[in-house]
Amino acid sequence: MNTGLYVEQSQIRDEMQRLAAGLVEEERKRGSAEQRRQDVENEVDELATSLFEQVSLHPGLSRDVVRVRC
């Protein structure tokens, strides 16, 4: 398919380098976001575990927790 347009090799190389740099940055951001998500999930698990441990230590507390939620 000949459109009659010519592009300098240096322009193609520059564009490929720009795109590659953008890809590296996006991969870095994704890794950072996934790490933050994992940290939040771990914190939620720890808080849930702590809550259930507290409830098991104080059986009367579980009724109060249920009342507060309702």
Among 36, 34, 15, CA closest to 26:
34
Q: Is 39 among the domain residues?
A: yes
Q: Is 3 among the domain residues?
A: no
- pLDDT value, residue 20: 97
- pLDDT value, residue 34: 96
Q: Is 28 among the domain residues?
A: yes
Q: Is 1 among the domain residues?
A: no
Domain that holds residue 32: 9-69
Q: Is 55 among the domain residues?
A: yes
pLDDT digits (tens, 9 = 90+) for 2-55: 666 788 999 999 999 999 999 999 999 999 999 999 999 999 999 999 988 888
pLDDT digits (tens, 9 = 90+) for 17-32: 999 999 999 999 999 9
Cα 7 from Cα 10, distance rounded (Å): 8
Number of domains in the chain: 1
pTM: 0.58
Q: Is 27 among the domain residues?
A: yes
Q: Give the position of tokens 């795109």.
A: 19
